């Protein structure tokens, strides 16, 4: 018999407004404890010296965290020209200082040069994992780990304020993009060096900034509740299907839900014809206000449908288990 997890069977996403300092995992465990959730996971760590939006998945929402990990992110960053540090931020030791002999036009041109696709070597002071530990763990011990260049893309880059030696930017980029590396490269390209004085993540995928909640607010809310009450705390949760809101969807009936719940392929109604190999949200009901069942992939004539009909069905890939199911 499977061992029952301790805690509440609560599903949803908390858009935590991460403060400066502390690891993403420490904050995750704190939020999990506040909600008494059976399980929890984050959607990509923020470095200790970065703040801002950190989506935390509780319960069955953890099954869809990869979709947010793969999503684009938006940051507000302040760079200071004329100084280069070991960590490319204010936490590091100064290794080089040069006069800032550039004008606004040169800075703007150098910033805009980062738009588009490129290769980037992750910073040793990033949260990227190596053998289970973040790279900054090794960097603080003076250990350098070889890193492979990664494909990244900067979709948008706007210089929002220029008051030399300070440059404020808003950067929208692909997963795996290290803003500190961009700033360090910016300084090198301008011939004067640069480092990050402020880094704040404002967006992940389509999540709005105004839905973020601070850890202090969660703690204050939890402390004001009576023993066993969670309604006010749960009000901060965002539905777990928002993690996959960009996927098309299908709607299925009672009989097909029974099949989906048992891991079998299903057929339903969709706004547009199914496309083989594409992922779909699956709902039980007449619209997307119905019960979210998970995500499946369109496949041609799966074996569990019997005789081949040259038809597409949706095969379960990530299935939500509610309450005491499974």
Confidence of residue 5 (pLDDT cuts 50, 70, 90): low
Alpha-carbon torsion 54, 59, 62, 67, what sign? negative
Domain ranges of the chain: 12-70+207-240, 73-204, 247-319
* Nearest residue to 77 via CA among 88, 85, 86: 88
pLDDT digits (tens, 9 = 90+) for 138-149: 887 888 888 888
What is the Cα–Cα distance from 270 to 1, expressed in whole angstroms? 38
Return the active site residues.
47
- Phi, psi of 282, deg, nearest 5: -125, 125
pLDDT digits (tens, 9 = 90+) for 210-269: 899 999 999 999 999 888 889 999 999 999 999 999 999 999 999 999 999 999 999 999
- What pLDDT is recorded for position 171? 98
- Enter the CATH code of domain 247-319: 2.30.130.10
Q: Who contacts 300 (Cβ-Cβ below 8 Å, separation ≥6)?
A: 276, 310, 311, 312
pLDDT digits (tens, 9 = 90+) for 35-94: 999 999 988 778 888 999 999 999 999 999 999 999 999 999 999 999 998 888 888 889
Domains 73-204 and 247-319 in one fold: no
What is the Cα–Cα distance from 318 to 229, expressed in whole angstroms? 30
| Residues facing residue 270 across a β-bridge | 250
- What pLDDT is recorded for position 76? 97
pTM of the model: 0.88
Q: What is the 3-state composition of the chain as percent helix, strand, coil, each rounded to the nearest 5?
A: 25, 35, 40
Higher-pLDDT residue of 323 and 174 is 174
- Other beta carbons within 10 angstroms of residue 197's beta carbon come to 17
Q: Is the peptide bond before 238 cis (omega within 30 degrees of 0)?
A: no
HSE on the CB side for 114, CA within 13 Å?
31
- What pLDDT is recorded for position 324? 56
Q: Which CATH number fits domain 73-204: 3.90.1200.10, 3.30.2350.10, 4.10.520.10, 3.40.50.720?
A: 3.30.2350.10
Q: Who contacts 231 (Cβ-Cβ below 8 Å, separation ≥6)?
A: 225
- Phi, psi of 220, deg, nearest 5: -60, -40
The SS3 assignment for 203 reads strand
Burial pattern 233-246, b for ≥16 Cβ within 10 A else e, equals beebbbebbbbbee
What's the longest Cα–Cα distance across the chain?
Answer: 75
- Other beta carbons within 10 angstroms of residue 160's beta carbon come to 11
Mean pLDDT of the chain: 92
* Average pLDDT, integer, range 98-122: 94
* Average pLDDT, integer, range 266-290: 95
Confidence of residue 134 (pLDDT cuts 50, 70, 90): confident
* Average pLDDT, integer, range 278-297: 96
- What pLDDT is recorded for position 1? 40
% of the chain residues with pLDDT over 90: 74
- What pLDDT is recorded for position 221? 95
pLDDT digits (tens, 9 = 90+) for 185-216: 999 999 999 999 999 999 999 998 889 999 99
- Phi, psi of 268, deg, nearest 5: -155, -160
> Does the structure show a pLDDT above 60 at 2?
no
What CATH fold (topology level) applies to the domain 12-70+207-240? Answer: Pseudouridine synthase (3.30.2350)
């Amino acid at each position: 018999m499977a061992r029952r997890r301790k805690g509440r069977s609560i599903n949803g996403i908390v858009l935590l407004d991460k403060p400066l300092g502390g690891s993403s995992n420490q904050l995750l465990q704190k939020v999990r404890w506040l909600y008494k959730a059976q399980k929890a996971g984050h959607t990509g760590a923020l470095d200790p010296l970065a703040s801002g939006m950190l989506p935390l998945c509780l319960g069955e929402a953890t099954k869809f965290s990869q979709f947010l990990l793969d999503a684009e992110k938006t940051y507000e960053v302040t760079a200071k020209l004329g100084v280069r540090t070991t960590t490319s931020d204010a936490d590091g030791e100064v290794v080089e200082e040069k006069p800032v002999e550039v004008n606004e036009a040169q800075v703007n041109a150098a910033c805009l040069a980062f738009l588009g696709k490129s290769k980037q070597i992750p910073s040793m002071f990033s949260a990227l994992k190596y053998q289970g530990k973040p790279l900054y763990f090794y960097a603080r011990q003076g250990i350098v780990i070889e890193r492979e260049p990664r494909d990244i893309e900067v979709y948008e880059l706007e210089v929002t304020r220029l008051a030399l030696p300070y440059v404020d930017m808003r950067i929208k980029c692909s997963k795996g993009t290290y803003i500190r590396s961009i700033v360090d490269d910016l300084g090198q390209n301008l011939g004067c060096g640069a480092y990050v004085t402020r880094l704040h993540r404002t967006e992940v995928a389509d999540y709005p900034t105004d839905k973020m909640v601070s850890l202090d607010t969660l703690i204050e809310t939890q402390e004001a509740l009576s023993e066993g009450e969670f309604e006010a705390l749960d009000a901060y949760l965002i539905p777990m299907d928002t993690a996959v809101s960009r996927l098309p969807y299908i709607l299925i009936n009672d009989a097909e839900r029974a099949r989906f719940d048992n891991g079998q392929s299903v057929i339903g109604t969709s706004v547009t014809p199914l496309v083989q190999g594409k992922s779909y949200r699956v709902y039980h009901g007449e619209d997307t206000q119905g019960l979210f069942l998970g995500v499946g992939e369109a496949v041609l004539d799966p074996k569990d449908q019997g005789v081949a009909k040259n038809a597409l069905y949706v095969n379960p890939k990530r299935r939500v288990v509610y309450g005491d199911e499974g």
